[in-house]
Amino acid sequence: MKVVVTGGCGFIGSNYVRGLLESRWGTVPTQVTVIDVLTYAGNIANLDPVIGDKRLTLHTVDINETQKVSDIISGHDVVVHFAAESHVDRSITDSGGFIRTNVLGTQSMLQACLVSAVPQFVHVSTDEVYGSIAHGSWDEQEPLLPNSPYAASKAGSDLVARSYYRTYGLDVRITRCSNNFGAYQFPEKAIPLFITNLIEGKKVPLYGDGLNIRDWLHVDDHCNAIDLVVQKGRAGETYNIGGGTELNNRELTTMILSGMGHGDEMIDWVEDRLGHDRRYSVNWTKIHDELGYTPQHSIAESMPHIIDWYRSNPQWWQPLKAKK
């Protein structure tokens, strides 16, 4: 199988690429083509473990350049579309880039698939498109009620992707995941930011009252689920991907502090984020029952390994924090 991975130098995309080439997922690729424009969060070093694999090709191209992309992806079997601006705080400061990349960029990739006759498109999205839920969990039939510019841009991209299935008959499959964690995560996100701050002797910034709740999903579980969708998913369907562990931000912070030998004295309570969603929770019964997905990595068991990875790889994250 010939696989295109957009955003393949980012956190989740690069994990998927490494897993493909290391035979961690079910798909056995004969070729993996990465398209990544290498913005601040795209890092070629994320592919270092597999950069010598002859099946891997990297193209530094903007996904909005439809004709260039069409030429690159011609002859491939599937596009797995990770490329996105994803940091909520940045979307609040400047939403324009999020609309350009997440909405227009997704449309460009879909159009390129039509032009080049690539038969399958897997669109990687987020649970944030649903908004906030006080109780229970969203299933895939819930309306989209995004509350941040980032979430709105992803909701828009989901709808554009769906339209290419309904209008043109392109085999489009959409996934919506909960919060990811793991190695190689850009250090503006909560877990790597907190860990690297503590390594540097700095406090960790905790928003508001710290009681916002998220479901936590290991990046390996996420990528395994995506690959199940590639292999066995149905055209036109949406699949929620959850991690099975809900924590509020205060509990998450305590877990990290405790794991690094610190207490509450290292918390810097900061003003809450604008429009901060209180709770996310996805019902992932559908992908479990249809495709056999079950998360294998709990955040509590994984956290010591994540902490050790950042402690052992300052050469990876220190330049990123210096320039962000």
Q: Which residues are catalytic?
A: 127-128, 150
Please list, in sequence order, all residues whose beta carbon lies within 8 angstroms of the beta carbon of residue 200, skipping any fewer than 6 positions away.
Answer: none
Residue 264 DSSP symbol: G
Please list, in sequence order, all residues whose beta carbon lies within 8 angstroms of the beta carbon of residue 107, skipping any fewer than 6 positions away.
Answer: 157, 160
Alpha-carbon dihedral sign for residues 26, 3, 229, 183: positive
Contact by Cβ (8 Å): 216, 284:
no
- What is the rounded CA–CA span in Å between residue 87 and residue 108? 21
Neighbour-count burial for 166-201, b at 16+ CB within 10 Å, e otherwise? eeeebbbbbbbbbbbbbbbbbbbbbbbbbbbbbeee
Contact by Cβ (8 Å): 112, 6:
no
The total of other beta-carbon atoms located within 10 Å of residue 290's CB is 15
Contact by Cβ (8 Å): 195, 201:
no
**Smallest Cα–Cα separation from 290: which of 239, 244, 324?**
239
